[in-house]
Structure 1
Amino acid sequence: MTLRAHLVVERPRFRLDIDLAVAPGEVVALLGPNGAGKTTALRALAGLIGLSGGRIDLDGIPLHTLATEHRPIGMVFQDYLLFPHLSALDNVAFAPRCHGASKADARREAARWLERVGLADFAAAKPRQLSGGQAQRVALARALAADPRLLLLDEPLAALDAHTRLDIRGQLRRHLADFDGATVLVTHDPLDAMVLADRLVVIENGAVVQQGTPAEVARRPRTDYVARLVGLNLHRGVAAGQQVMVGQMLFSVAEHLEGPAFVAFSPAAVALYRTRPDGTPRNLWQARIEGIERHGDNVRVHLDGPIIASADITPAAVADLDLTPGQQIWASVKATETHAYPA
Structure 2
Amino acid sequence: GLVPLTDGHLRLDGTELDRTPPESRPVGVVFQDYLLFPHLTALDNVAFGPRCHGASKSEARAQAAVWLDRMGLTAHASAKPRRLSGGQAQRVALARALATHPRLLLLDEPLAALDARTRLDVRAQLRRHLADFEAVAVLVTHDPLDAMVLADHLVVVEEGQVVQQGTPADIARHPRTDYIAHLVGLNLYRGQADGHTVHVESGSTVTTTEQLTGPVFVAFPPSAVTLHRDRPTGSSARNLWRCEVAGLETHGDQIRVALGGELPLAADLTTVAAAELDLHTGAMVWATVKAAQTHAYPA
For the aligned pair, the TM-score class normalised by the smaller chain equals over 0.9
Match of 1:285 among 241, 252, 276: 241
User: Corresponding residue for 1:294?
Assistant: 250
Match of 2:187 among 224, 233, 246: 233
- Residue 268 (str. 1) matches residue 220 (str. 2): no
* Paired residues, number: 297
- Residue 61 (str. 1) matches residue 15 (str. 2): yes
- Residue 337 (str. 1) matches residue 293 (str. 2): yes
User: Corresponding residue for 2:34?
Assistant: 80
Residues 331 and 54 of structure 1, relative CA distance in 2, 3 Å threshold: farther
Alignment of 1:113-128 (within 5 A): 113-128=67-82
Alpha-carbon distance, 1:49 to partner: 3.6
- Residue 97 (str. 1) matches residue 37 (str. 2): no
Alpha-carbon distance, 1:51 to partner: 5.5
User: Corresponding residue for 1:255?
Assistant: 210
Contact 1:232 1:264 in 2 (8 A): yes
Residues 165 and 305 of structure 1, relative CA distance in 2, 3 Å threshold: same
Q: Which runs of 4+ in 1 moved over 4 A?
A: 50-55, 64-70
- Residue 184 (str. 1) matches residue 138 (str. 2): yes
CA distance in 1, matches of 2:19, 2:195: 53
Q: CA RMSD, aligned part only?
A: 1.8
Q: Which runs of 5+ in 1 are unaligned?
A: 1-46
Identity of aligned residues (%): 65
- Normalised by the size of structure 1, how large is the TM-score? 0.82
Moved more, 228-237 or 294-303: 294-303
Alpha-carbon distance, 1:189 to partner: 2.1
- Normalised by the size of structure 2, how large is the TM-score? 0.93
CA distance in 1, matches of 2:288, 2:18: 53
CA distance in 1, matches of 2:179, 2:131: 29
Residues 300 and 119 of structure 1, relative CA distance in 2, 3 Å threshold: same
- Residue 136 (str. 1) matches residue 90 (str. 2): yes
Match of 2:176 among 199, 222, 231: 222
Q: Which has the higher contact order (CA 8 A, sep 6+)?
A: 1
- Three-state SS of the structure 2 residue aligned to 1:195 is helix
Write out per-residue CA displacement over residues 234-285 of structure 1, whole angstroms, 9 at most, x where no aligned residue. Answer: 0100111111100311111121211110010000101111121114642211
CA distance in 1, matches of 2:147, 2:276: 37
Contact 1:48 1:68 in 2 (8 A): no
User: Corresponding residue for 1:305?
Assistant: 261
CA distance in 2, matches of 1:238, 1:163: 44
Residues 313 and 160 of structure 1, relative CA distance in 2, 3 Å threshold: same
- Three-state SS of the structure 2 residue aligned to 1:158 is coil
